[in-house]
Amino acid sequence: MSWIHVAILLPLIFAIIIPIIYRLYKKIHLGWFVLPVPLVIFIYFLTFINKTSSGGQVIQRLNWMPRFGMNFDVNIDGLGLLFSLLITGIGSLVVLYSIGYLSKSEQLGNFYCYLLLFMGAMLGVVLADNIIMLYLFWELTSFSSFLLISFWRTKAKSIYGAQKSLIITVFGGLSLLGGLILLSIAGNTTSLQTLIDKVAEIHNSPFFILAMIFIIIGAITKSAQVPFYIWLPDAMEAPTPVSAYLHSATMVKAGLYLIARVTPIFAISEGWVWTVTVVGLATLCWASLNATKQEDLKGILAFSTVSQLGMIMSMLGIGAISYHFHGSDSSIYVAAYTAAVFHLINHATFKGALFMITGAVDHSTGTRNVKKLGGLMTVMPISFTLTIITALSMAGLPPFNGFLSKESFIESMIQATHANIFSLNTLGIILPIIAIVGSIFTFVYSVRFIGQIFLGKYNPERLPHSAHEASPLMLISPIILAILVVVFGFAPQLLTGSVIEPAANALTHTNNITAEFKFFHGFTPAFFSTLIIYVIGIVLILSFAYWVKLLQAQPKAFTFNHWYDSAGRMVPGLSSRFTNSYVTGYSRDNLILILLSLIVITVVTLIASPFSIHFSNISPVRPYELGIIIIIITASSMIIFARSRLFSIIMASAVGYSVAIFFIFFSAPDLALTQFVVETISTALFLLCFYHLPNLNRHKETRAFKTTNAIVSILTGAVVTILGLIAYGNRHFASIGAYYKAHVHDLAHGKNIVNVILVDFRGTDTLFESSVLGIAGIGVYTMIKLKMNSKQEAKGGQTNEQTER
């Protein structure tokens, strides 16, 4: 195991340790124990910058389940390192912020356990080279984010948001699993790097298109793209540190990472370029439009996050065009990749800070409703300054870093219309138009975000709490992020050679990409587009009160949330009716369904596949064996006609004891003894249970009732007999019994072959059977305890009632 594996597993290990520390040291805020974990990992990953910036990568392999192609192989290249630094760097700032945000009265052990669990899962997603491990960590992010979103589980909205996020992202995860399986079949490997090297082979596979569709669905559900974005606004019910971490810097960008990572495989497809680009632009436009009408600060940031993710997604789609050109023509479209990577970083800085400032405002005033806020500029001057810097960066105004990546975004959309492939030189004209429209509304909600909180008249009577500046612990993290916004704006070269170019090189599998970001590139179409964005944006802000009414008048039937909620109400009802139609709670009905399914499947299989029955190797039936067979048949028949439960139990026991005698005849005394013991215990338990059961019967023993039983029983017996004869007469492999006999002494050092099989050769099977019994025992004990507690509560209630009387 390498140090990279340790770095990935360290948060997962601490996720187990932290709750224990919380129980022992409650005087110190638990966040101080957690903070070193992401900080140390962040510093460790910084040491790889020299390696990746020179075009290298680090691959470490760890065999885990090689027979299943499931090895813990990791790969650090420019792209993986970028995300690792975001995950741990922003994670460190979020933990520091949470120390000031969350009080000691909260369930901090749970919170930091979930947070570390999520951090480790995200590191696994971005560094795993094995696609099965990638999927394992992918689903772990969904599970841990569910726990984080529902942290305040007493709030109905938190539970609703957590359930919605889990349903949608797990649906996408299952789609991703299907795509990854098809991809591994097409490339005959589970290694991502090897799959990329086998691009030509995968392109010729019949699974290529289907795998592409499934993977796109998985990516856009995780990154909250249209139409699956609806889970992210409701996830804002989580504590603000969770929103700042999951929904601006990490989880929602897992889908972007996946698209970037598999682009070399699917970029040849026209469907890939158009789908990724159009979905991204549609998300940008739709979400930015909806952000303008939100009245909750976190609602504004939620939709703004969705829109920014769509912007990055569209740039990844345009960048895929570079795979169809060479030389200088290719560099025009590769610029979209460098812009996407730069905006990934920029978005993490300004959006993380904005979430933290929103949490500070909520913490200070007790509300996030923009109708109650306003005029906080003089009350919270530091927060106001930080908001000016970060919100204007999100709006795409100079001299902040968001302006540089936004300019590159507009430029890449305009350049896409010059590509003489995939009808981009004709239909592509819609791309810059949608990009400009989305950017206009981004400018509107960003500028209004500042005004709604800090400008206007201060009305303290509307606020639940007396407003004040946030504590230093809550300001340190957003201050650091705001400083990075300014620094990366004035000096983007700090990132280009160390982070941006290596990440873009990893995307394109080249080592010659150069990234250049300037505030002024001349009087280009992108420059005039930016002027249009500013002018129209200012007009829309000044006339906001008039046109926002049109957005607020949108019928609910035209929203994706309405469709989700309608399905949420309809599906459980249909599911319940369908389930109740066959799950009646009666053993007879369940047995009939199970046995009929066995009969139908067997008959269809026998018709579809040729089979044969051979009697040549059947052993002769000895007279005393025939006698036992007659006893079994007689006892079984008498059970059918028995009128007494006691008599039925005795006859069933007779069948069991007769089978045990067969084991003696077949030279298996240990097995026979076991059968005798089990049969005796079972009979005693049956007698004990049936003695206390009421003599109830749902069905009247009509002719139809008896006929159905007879038909199902006869067909089941016939099917089992035929299967047994087919299996006996068509043995394609030698019996494993010879292996057991040959190695019972040298491998297991035992004499009793039955015991050796149970304990050594099939020890895992026996262990799981014992585990099942243990779990069942715990369940029985729990039910008994619950019943005893309920009785005690009932007695206590009666006592209190008598006392009151």
Token duo for residue 556: 């609910």
Under the phi-then-psi rule, with left for phi > 0, alpha for psi from -120 to 50, and beta for the rest, what region is 498?
A: alpha
Provide the terminal-to-terminal Cα distance of the chain, rounded to the nearest Å.
70
Between CA 89 and CA 164 the distance in angstroms is 28
Per-residue exposure over 376-396, b if at least 16 CB sit within 10 Å of its own CB, e if not:
bbebbebbbebbebbbbbbbb
How confident is the model at residue 23, as a pLDDT?
Answer: 86
- Spell out the domain ranges in the chain: 269-550, 553-583, 592-751, 752-805
**Residue 60, φ and ψ in degrees, nearest 5:** -125, 135
Counting as low any pLDDT under 70, the low residues of the chain are 327-328, 695-700, 791-805
Q: Which residues contact 735 (CB under 8 A, 6 or more apart)?
A: none
CB 412 within 8 A of CB 335: yes
Contacts of 521 (CB under 8 A, 6+ apart): 407, 411, 527
Question: Is 396 within 8 Å of 443 (Cβ atoms)?
Answer: yes
Residue 697 has what pLDDT? 61
* Residue whose structure tokens are 């996720």: 15
**Taking Cα atoms as reference points, which of 293, 294, 344, 347 lies closest to residue 316?**
344
Query: Residue 696: its pLDDT value, please?
Result: 60
Alpha-carbon distance of 130 to 72, in angstroms, equals: 7
| Phi-psi map region of 106: left, alpha, beta (phi>0 left; psi -120 to 50 alpha) | beta
d(CA 376, CA 383): 9
The b/e string for 302-339 (b: 16+ C-beta within 10 A; e otherwise) is: bbbbbbbbbbbbbbbbbbbbbbbbeeeebebbbbbbbb
What pLDDT is recorded for position 699? 59
**Residues facing 296 on adjacent strands:** 369
CA–CA gap between residue 138 and residue 125 (Å, rounded) = 6
Q: What would you report as the CA-atom Rg of the chain, rounded to the nearest whole angstrom?
A: 33
Q: Cα 752 vs. chain centroid, distance in angstroms?
A: 48
Q: List beta partners, residue 58.
A: 76
| 703-743 pLDDT tens trace | 888 888 889 999 999 999 888 888 877 777 777 888 888 88
Reading the block at residue 309, the tokens are 């993710």
Report d(CA 452, CA 295) in Å as an integer.
Answer: 9
Query: What pLDDT was estimated at residue 555?
Result: 78
d(CA 662, CA 698): 37
